[in-house]
Each structure stands twice: as C-alpha cells, then as structure tokens.
C-alpha cells in the first residue's frame, strides 16, 4: 500500500521537500526494480554458460549476488528507519547510499569483458541486449531522482565503453575492425538518448510533485482561514450572547422599577435612585460595546502628542481617590522625578489607566492600590499594583477577552467583562506594550510601556 504523503513542513524549503518526496517515490518502486534485476542474473548466467570461462562467470555471478544482498539491506534500512521520516532524513539517506546505484551499473556492464568479441555473435547480441534493456529500464525506474539516474546510466555506459576500449587497446593493440569503433560510437549515442529520455521523465515527475506541494500549501492555508473564520463566528456568537445577557439584567430591573413606581407613586424617592443606577449600567455597557466596535473597525481616532505622565497620574488620583476612600483603601500615586514626555493619545491613555485603576479598586477588599511611573529605557512604564484577590495563571490571557469573567471570582457578577478587553485593544492601537502578573490572594500588577518623544508607535502588544 502506498504510504500517505506527508504534509509539506514549514521548516523545509520547497525545493528540499520536493527532492525528498521524489526520493520517497523512487524508494517505493525500488523493491520491484531490484527483484526484476535479481531475476535477470540467472538469465545472463544461462546465456553465457559454456561459452565463457566458468571462473570469470562465477566471479561475476557472486559479485552480482552480493550486490543484490547489499541493495536489499539498504531498502530494508530505508523501510524501517527512513520511509516515514522527514525531509532531512530523506536527503541524508540518498547522500549516504546513492553510490550503490552506479556500483550496480558497473558490475552489470563489466560482464561484457567475458563475452564481447570472444563469443559467437548470437551470444554477444543477447549479452548486449540484456545490458541495453537494463539501461532502458533504469530510465523509467530511476527517473524520480535525476542525480541517481545520471550516475547509474553514466556508470553503465562508461563501463561498456571501457570494455570496448579494453578490447581495442589491450587485446587487439588498436588493430581492431572498424565495427569496434562504430560500436563505441553507438554506445555514446545510446548514452545521450538515455539521459535525454530520463530528463524528460524527471521533469514530469517533478512537476507533479511541485503541484502536490502547492496544493498542500493551499489546503493548509484554506484550513487556517476556515478555522479563523469559525473562531470569529464563535467569538461573535459569544459576544452577542453575553451582551444580551448583561443587558437583560439592568433592562429587566428598569421594567420592574417602572411598574413598581406606577403602582406606588409615593415611593418615588426610594425607587428613583435605583432607576438611575440601572440606567447608568445600561449606558456603561452600550458605551463599552461602542468602544469595542470602533476599535474593531479601526474608526477610533488617535491623536498622538507629547504627554506628561506625571501630570496625567495626578489627575487620575484626584478622580479616583474618593472611590478608594469609600472602599476604605489606600491609593498612592508615585512618579519618578524628571520623567520624559511620552508619545501617546492623552484621552485614550487616560481611559487605559482609568480602566486598570478602576479594576484594581474594584477587586481589592483590603490594603490599597499603587500607581507608579518609572523610567523604561527611552520611555516610561506605568504600573498599577493592587493587594486584591489576584488571578490564577491559567486565566491571565483569558481576562483580556471580551465578556470574559474568571470563574468563581468575587466581584465579577456585577461587571461586563469588557474593561480589560478595551485596555488590550487600546494598547494595541497605540502601540504600547501591555503585560500583567498576578497571584491569587496576593494581588496583581499591570504594566504599560510607553515610548519617548519621537519614537514610532510600533511596539507590539505583548501578553504573557
């Protein structure tokens, strides 16, 4: 059974993968080819028996049998250790054992020393016919590897030419008949014809494997695109389901409060604040959804300017200190002296830091929150530390997805799971590096790296 063709590996070049696949094709047909060659040995023995010296014929037969054993061992080694290996193993195998093919051709053609110009014409004709047939058969059986084909045909033809020249120069001392030279010319012509035919077959085989390679690459690409499309659909469905779920609760509460107010107008002082809170929740969710939509569509306008990080953090402190005091938490803001200005969009940067600071205060029950700005090379790194409940490492990447809420995590029930998703998108849009570290029960730290003046906003968004 023909083994399944492996998928093209990204680590291998196209040329190497094609060469390796051609070697596989060559070795798939090698057992049948070698069995055929082994069966011809007794045929040649029968043709020459009784008309050539038995000692020479026996020596040649033993050499051919020993070579056949070697070839079967090489094929078994390939089948056990190389057949299912990668591209490099295929190329290495051929580099190590490619010499066995021309060796076999030399042994086959050397039989001409026994019969050429020393036996009846019928015997010579049959002997040469077998050798020519072997050369022709090699063109089809070895055409998957042009290097192997050329070495085999060249070894076979050059050995035949050597047999003829030996007869002309050594045995007859250049007093040979004219047909010896004509025969030498025919051998050369036959050589060129074999090489030309082999080249044509090789190009056909290579074109087929090249097409196979490109089809494999196309299938891989289509598979990846299909997977990406399915993931996008799944994300969209999850997005819509979660959005519908999170909107339903405050809208349902609004309906209940409205009915309650309609039935008991005297409770307006008690019900009105709850309606206001539910309305704020719906508005906050819609604002977040619109923010994500703008970020996904690339419609968020970015106004890059030089931003004073120290001043920005002081403004954030004034805005969030009342919330910290309400929750009984300490809020500290620290900026290294002489911080350089950074390249960013001031409004969007405020939203990033605000979301991180708001999350830190929300998920911290005791202790406090530290917002620090430190030098980082030519830029500045803003760090938001808290002593909150922390996040297990398995959820570190997930918390930046839309609507994701850490399972069994206190404080997530009244949130939408959009704050960190917006932080991640805005950071990526601005080219700011974003990373986090968190340990359950000990707190979390989020780090935002900003470039100094004149730097391009090209730092990749990095999530540990």
How confident is the model over 442-454, as pLDDT tens digits?
888 889 888 876 5
Asked if the model's pLDDT at residue 210 lies above 50, the reply is yes
Q: Which of 187-196, 384-393, 428-437 has the highest mean pLDDT?
A: 187-196
pLDDT band at 305 (very low <50, low <70, confident <90, very high): confident
Q: Specify if 235 maps to a domain.
A: no
Of 62-66, 239-243, 387-391, the one with minimum mean pLDDT is: 239-243
Of 192-201, 261-270, 290-299, 367-376, the one with minimum mean pLDDT is: 290-299
Residues 270 and 212 in one domain: no
Asked if the model's pLDDT at residue 402 lies above 70, the reply is no
User: 130 and 47 in contact (C-beta within 8 Å)?
Assistant: yes
Q: What is the CATH number of the domain that holds 408?
A: 3.30.565.10
Residues 26 and 131 in one domain: yes
Residues 419 and 316 in one domain: yes
Q: What percent of the chain has pLDDT over 70?
A: 79
Asked if the model's pLDDT at residue 34 lies above 80, the reply is yes
pLDDT tens, position by position, 356-379: 888 888 888 888 899 998 888 778
Q: Is 120 exposed, middle or buried (0-12, 13-18, 19+ CB in 10 A)?
A: exposed
The pLDDT score that the predictor gives to residue 3 is 44
The pLDDT score that the predictor gives to residue 236 is 63
The pLDDT score that the predictor gives to residue 295 is 54
Q: What long-range pairs does 452-456 form, CB within 8 A, spacing at least 24?
A: 452/340, 452/341, 452/342, 452/343, 452/377, 452/378, 452/379, 452/380, 453/306, 453/340, 453/341, 453/342, 453/343, 454/343, 455/343, 455/378, 455/379, 456/431
Residues 42 and 173 in one domain: yes
Q: Which of 3-7, 375-379, 391-395 has the highest mean pLDDT?
A: 375-379
Section 16-23 average pLDDT: 91
Instruction: Reduce the DSSP state of residue 57 to 3 states and report it.
Output: helix
Q: Specify if 462 maps to a domain.
A: no
Residues 340 and 293 in one domain: no
The pLDDT score that the predictor gives to residue 464 is 37
- The pLDDT mean for the chain works out to 82
Distance CA 445, CA 436 (A): 6
Asked if the model's pLDDT at residue 343 lies above 50, the reply is yes
Asked if the model's pLDDT at residue 285 lies above 70, the reply is no
Distance CA 131, CA 194 (A): 13
Which structural domain, as residue segments, surrounds residue 396? Answer: 305-450
The pLDDT score that the predictor gives to residue 165 is 93
Residues 141 and 279 in one domain: no
Residues 125 and 259 in one domain: no
Query: Which of the 8 DSSP states describes residue 299?
Result: -
The pLDDT score that the predictor gives to residue 89 is 93
> CA angle, 280 as apex, 274 and 285 as ends, to 5°?
130
Q: Specify if 463 maps to a domain.
A: no
Asked if the model's pLDDT at residue 352 lies above 60, the reply is yes
pLDDT tens, position by position, 256-272: 777 777 777 777 777 77
Residues 207 and 315 in one domain: no
Q: Specify if 56 maps to a domain.
A: yes
Residues 285 and 392 in one domain: no
Q: Specify if 87 maps to a domain.
A: yes
Residues 252 and 104 in one domain: no
Q: Specify if 6 maps to a domain.
A: no
pLDDT band at 461 (very low <50, low <70, confident <90, very high): very low
User: 455 and 379 in contact (C-beta within 8 Å)?
Assistant: yes
pLDDT band at 206 (very low <50, low <70, confident <90, very high): very high
The pLDDT score that the predictor gives to residue 39 is 93
In the chain, the number of structural domains is 3
Residues 115 and 93 in one domain: yes
Q: Specify if 3 maps to a domain.
A: no
Q: Specify if 78 maps to a domain.
A: yes
Section 152-178 average pLDDT: 91
pLDDT band at 408 (very low <50, low <70, confident <90, very high): low
Residues 35 and 180 in one domain: yes
The pLDDT score that the predictor gives to residue 336 is 81
Section 412-420 average pLDDT: 56
The pLDDT score that the predictor gives to residue 54 is 94
pLDDT tens, position by position, 62-117: 999 999 999 999 999 999 999 999 999 999 999 999 999 999 999 999 999 999 98
């Amino acid at each position: 059974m023909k083994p399944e063709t492996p998928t093209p590996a990204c680590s291998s070049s196209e040329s190497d993968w094609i060469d390796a696949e051609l070697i596989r094709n060559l070795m798939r047909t090698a057992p049948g080819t070698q069995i055929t060659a082994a069966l011809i040995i007794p045929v040649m023995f029968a043709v020459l028996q009784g008309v050539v010296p038995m000692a020479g014929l026996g020596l040649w037969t033993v050499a051919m049998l020993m070579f056949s054993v070697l070839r079967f061992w090489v094929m078994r080694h390939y089948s056990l250790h190389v057949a299912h290996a990668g591209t490099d193993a295929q190329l290495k195998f051929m580099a190590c054992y490619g010499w066995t093919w021309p060796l076999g051709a030399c042994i086959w053609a050397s039989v001409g020393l026994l019969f050429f110009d020393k036996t009846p014409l019928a015997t010579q004709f049959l002997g040469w016919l077998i050798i020519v047939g072997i050369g022709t058969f090699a063109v089809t059986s070895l055409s998957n590897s042009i290097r192997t084909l050329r070495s085999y045909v060249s070894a076979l033809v050059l050995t035949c030419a050597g047999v003829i020249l030996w007869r002309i120069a050594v045995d007859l001392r250049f007093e040979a008949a004219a047909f010896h030279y004509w025969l030498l010319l025919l051998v050369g012509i036959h050589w060129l014809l074999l090489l030309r035919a082999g080249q044509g077959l090789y190009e056909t085989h290579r074109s087929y494997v090249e097409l196979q390679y490109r089809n494999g690459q196309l299938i891989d690409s289509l598979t990846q695109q299909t997977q990406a499309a399915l993931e996008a659909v799944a994300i969209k469905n999850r997005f819509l389901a979660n959005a519908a779920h999170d909107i339903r609760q405050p809208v349902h509460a609004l309906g209940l409060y409205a009915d309650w107010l309609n039935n008991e107008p005297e409770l307006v002082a008690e019900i009105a604040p709850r309606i206001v809170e539910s309305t704020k929740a719906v508005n906050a969710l819609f604002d977040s959804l619109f923010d994500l939509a703008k970020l996904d569509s690339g419609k968020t306008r970015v106004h890059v300017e030089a931003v004073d990080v120290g001043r920005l953090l002081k403004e954030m402190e004034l805005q969030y200190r009342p919330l910290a005091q309400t929750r009984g938490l300490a809020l500290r803001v620290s900026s290294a002296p002489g911080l350089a200005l950074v390249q960013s969009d001031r409004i969007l940067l405020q939203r990033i830091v605000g979301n991180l600071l708001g999350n830190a205060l929300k998920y911290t029950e005791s202790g406090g929150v530290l917002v620090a700005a430190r030098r980082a090379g030519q830029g500045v790194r803003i760090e938001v530390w808290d002593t909150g409940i922390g996040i297990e490492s398995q959820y570190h990447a997930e918390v930046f997805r839309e609507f994701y809420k850490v399972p069994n995590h206190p404080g997530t029930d009244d949130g939408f799971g959009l704050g960190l998703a917006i932080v991640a998108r805005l950071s990526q849009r601005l080219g700011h590096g974003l990373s986090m570290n968190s340990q359950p029960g000990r707190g979390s730290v989020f780090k935002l790296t900003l470039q100094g003046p004149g730097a391009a906003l090209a730092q990749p968004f990095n999530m540990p």
